[in-house]
Amino acid sequence: MSALPTKLETLAIHGGTPVRETLLPYGRQSLNEEDIQAVVEVLRSDWLTTGPKVGEFEERFAAWVGAKCGVSFSSGTAALHAAAFAAGLGPGDEAITTPMTFCATANCVLYQGAKPVFADVSADTLNLDPGEVAKKLSSRTKAILAVDYAGHPADLDALLAVTRQRGIPLIEDACHALGANYRGKRVGGISDMTVFSFHPVKHLTTGEGGMVTTNDARLAETLRRFRNHGISSEARERQQSGQWFYEMVLLGFNYRLTDIACALGLSQLEKLDVNLARRREIAARYTAAFRDLPAVIVPTVRDGVNPAWHLYPIRLKLEMLLAGRGEIFRALRAENIGVNVHYIPVHRHPYYRERFKSKEGYPVAEGTYERLISLPMFHAMTAQDVEDVIHALRKVMLHYEGERSH
């Protein structure tokens, strides 16, 4: 084990030596020679887009998560937009969602002219609190849009009980949760539609990219049309059948994912199990190492759940510390640890603040936001990277815990 500080070291922010010489990012991709070769092969082939790699990636991905159908998109955000469309959201409708997410989750409801209605989160997982969701239901509620925050699945059974009873879809934004397990199943085949992102910080990357998985073939068909201008057949089918005729049947977009990206996705999928195991190992090491830092609360894992660990967000017990989150954040950055904050609650962004005033607020989301810091978490982290994070957090916490003796 590396030398952990037992006495106060001078913080880098105060002129001391940083724990690392170079910045460790909070997340990043890892590509190997096979990934590069897979892309090069497509570049030499006939199909750069709408070719065979698209369907192959969709099928393999859907099978991996345990869903019947997969429909790829040019980004996770495009996939969310398509899911909001396929859910039938439109003007006058509401979708209940969480404020503790990236703004794209709620934006997709607005794209459809519907209204996102925020419900507060549970204090342990920071996922939608089903009790709060129940309070926000109205005759206009046409979908629930849950997020698997940090990679810990939302309370899916409780949410499904509500959506089934009302005959509305549960959309799951699982952009953090590729590979997460919930009560014996993988995320992706549980909700009516599950949305994934292939941005470089996520578990699997295609540069930009996304996917919706579903067990409902009719929803899959709508999703496929939506990503291709609303056209009812695909270019390659027409070429193969020697036909020119096609019909545009709904107002869609060009949200297609290229064969170049899908080839990268297929290659990345091969390494998903190993990468997921590595993230779980890092999370376990962090959780064990922070047990004796009294001002740090580590993420909770509920029974029956195995998270995918897109993020490792800690919470600070600010009442035990001599500084606020801002200063502790800057101190960790000065040690060259690329900490981040996930998330500024969506309703706090100016665009939302001006349009969605809430009387009662979201006390759990807001109270927790002030204390959150995401530590670096990505599968390519080396053992030394992990120990550097532990060293830096310990160093900074010992400093700001002030009078406590160690």
Is the N-terminal amide bond of 182 cis, ω within 30° of 0? no
Query: Least separation, in Å, of the C-beta of 173 and ligand PLP?
Result: 5
Query: Least separation, in Å, of the C-beta of 204 and ligand PLP?
Result: 11
Given the DSSP bridges, would you call strands 312-316 and 372-375 parallel, antiparallel or unpaired? antiparallel
Q: Are 264 and 205 in contact (CB under 8 A)?
A: yes
Per the listing, tokens 């009873």 go with 165
Our CB check for ligand PLP shows the closer of 210 and 313 to be 210
What does the alpha-carbon distance between residue 201 and residue 368 come to, in Å, rounded to a whole number? Answer: 23
Chosen residue from 128, 133, 147, 397 binding ligand PLP by CB under 6 A:
147
String marking each residue 376-405 x if it binds ligand PLP according to CB under 6 A:
------------------------------
Considering the rule CB under 6 A, would residue 206 count as an interface residue with ligand PLP?
A: no
Considering the rule CB under 6 A, would residue 374 count as an interface residue with ligand PLP?
A: no
User: If 0-12 CB within 10 Å is exposed, 13-18 middle and 19+ buried, where does residue 162 land?
Assistant: middle
- Catalytic option among 53, 202, 271, 395: 202
Contacts of residue 121, defined as CB under 8 A and 6 or more positions apart, other chains included, come to 98, 99, 100, 127, 128, 129, 132, 149, 362, 364, 365, 368
Chosen residue from 29, 50, 72, 77 binding ligand PLP by CB under 6 A:
77
- Concerning whether 7 is annotated as a catalytic residue, the answer is no
For residue 174, give the 3-state DSSP assignment. Answer: coil
Considering the rule CB under 6 A, would residue 76 count as an interface residue with ligand PLP?
A: yes
Chain residues 101-140 in contact with ligand PLP, contact rule CB under 6 A: 101-102, 104-105
How many C-beta atoms lie closer than 10 Å to residue 334's C-beta?
18
* Number of residues near ligand PLP (by CB under 6 A): 14
Query: Least separation, in Å, of the C-beta of 87 and ligand PLP?
Result: 16
Which sequence positions are flagged as catalytic? Answer: 202
- Residue ranges that bind ligand PLP, judged by CB under 6 A: 75-77, 101-102, 104-105, 147, 173, 175-176, 197, 199, 210
